[in-house]
Amino acid sequence: MPTVYVIATGGTIASTSSDTGAVPTESVQELVRAYPESFDHVDVELEQVAQTPSSELTIDDLVALGDRVRGIADDVDGVVVLHGTDTIEETAYYLDLVLDVDVPVVLTGAQRPDDSLSPDGPANLRGALTAASHDYVRTGTYVFFNDRLHAARPVTKDHSTNLDAYDSGAYGPIADRTPDGLWFYRRPESLSVTLPVRDITANVELVQTSTDTGGSQIGHAVDRGVDGIVVDALGVGNVPTAVADAIDSAVNDVVVVIATRCRNGVVSPVYGSDGGAAVLEEKGVLFASNLSAHKARIKLLVALSCHSKETVREAFDTGQLSGHGYQ
């Protein structure tokens, strides 16, 4: 049987009820004993690296996880990471960006705690193990959830509680799990240009926009000495006038990336008003294409950690120029 290395970080899949609510308590070894049928089709090696809700993970935790995957990838057929659902898509995208390994990495978790009436963790875990050991899934980083395999770049959590919590927008899932096994809709592969960073040295702020929001967050971020700012903009990348003024003042000191808060579509220099994306582009901002703001922040952290501010533009331009939506 194929060998899959399972790395556990905590999250709802390992959580049980307490006086204050669900908290991660169950080790990966306990999950194996409780649900042996989830593991009966692979040989597994197990490691508990954290017992943490994903909302409390740090960038340093992501760096350590990437290092651990590199350390064991040559000796196994696949890797599964058990992870909380709040930020699983960010961790998956980080790993997809920085890893250059020859085995698939599949993240999964659960929406219901392990001691709930009908936990979804065992089925998600079995599916993730199946994907990580599948002959057709050889490289790349993925999220498996509710019988669907998603690529790391487009997948996002679009429901806070429903078991069908993850969606890949216009990209769609890579595969469904059926009674006959995985049914593939397209080739499983990474949709990211690799940036093989071993350490994150940059500091990037995320700024939201809405009707008539001001630019004070951008000014404060520059004063704190950040290296980059991601602006979650409106429509195709437009911002309120005060935000545009703040970007104009900041762009010579920090890298500014414009994303869109729209779930689908791209940032594009269409509008030429004071806060329009066309004017922002002239000021020197970078565009995140159709990458969400929180994933654009991950990418900018990685890009700034391996490029100078002057050359980080290439890391963002690569995806847009490829014509494939890869970034």
Let me know whether 88 and 48 are in one domain. yes
235 three-state secondary structure: coil
Q: Are 233 and 239 in contact (CB under 8 A)?
A: yes
Mean pLDDT by 10 residues, the chain (327 residues): 97 94 94 90 96 97 98 98 98 97 98 95 96 97 98 97 95 96 96 91 97 97 97 98 98 96 94 97 95 96 86 69 47
Q: Report yes or no on 86 lying in a domain.
A: yes
Let me know whether 116 and 50 are in one domain. yes
Mode of pairing for the β-strands spanning 204-208 and 166-167: unpaired
Let me know whether 179 and 34 are in one domain. yes
pLDDT given for residue 50 in this prediction: 96
Cα(31)–Cα(113) distance, integer angstroms: 12
Task: Return the structure tokens found at 36.
Answer: 């042996």
Let me know whether 178 and 208 are in one domain. no
Let me know whether 61 and 130 are in one domain. yes
> CA distances (Å), 326 to each of 186, 316, 318, in order?
15, 10, 8
Q: Report yes or no on 286 lying in a domain.
A: yes
Let me know whether 162 and 21 are in one domain. yes
Let me know whether 137 and 18 are in one domain. yes
Placement of tokens 């009820």 in the chain = 17
12 is catalytic: yes
pLDDT given for residue 82 in this prediction: 98
Run of H or E including 143: strand 141-145
Q: Report yes or no on 250 lying in a domain.
A: yes
The alpha carbon of 172 is separated from its chain's Cα centroid by a whole number of angstroms, namely 16
pLDDT given for residue 327 in this prediction: 57
Model's pTM, two decimal places?
Answer: 0.95
Residue-number span of the structural domain to which 213 is assigned: 204-322
Number of domains in the chain: 2
Q: Report yes or no on 198 lying in a domain.
A: no
Q: Report yes or no on 327 lying in a domain.
A: no
Give the residue ranges of DSSP H helices in the chain.
Answer: 28-34, 59-72, 88-98, 121-132, 216-223, 241-250, 277-283, 293-306, 312-322
According to DSSP, residue 20 is labeled T
The CATH code of the domain that includes 315 is 3.40.50.40
Let me know whether 168 and 219 are in one domain. no
Let me know whether 252 and 164 are in one domain. no
pLDDT given for residue 323 in this prediction: 42
Task: Return the structure tokens found at 235.
Answer: 């429509």
The CATH code of the domain that includes 151 is 3.40.50.1170
Task: Return the structure tokens found at 76.
Answer: 């196994």
Let me know whether 110 and 67 are in one domain. yes
What pLDDT, in 10s, does the model give residues 90-112?
Answer: 999 999 999 999 999 999 999 99
The alpha carbon of 219 is separated from its chain's Cα centroid by a whole number of angstroms, namely 27
pLDDT given for residue 169 in this prediction: 94
Q: Are 121 and 112 in contact (CB under 8 A)?
A: yes
Cα(123)–Cα(136) distance, integer angstroms: 20
Let me know whether 70 and 162 are in one domain. yes
Out of 3, 9, 12, 139, the active site residue is: 12
260, 272, 212: which is closest to 236 by C-alpha? 260
Cα(304)–Cα(197) distance, integer angstroms: 10
pLDDT above 70 covers a percentage of the chain that reads 97
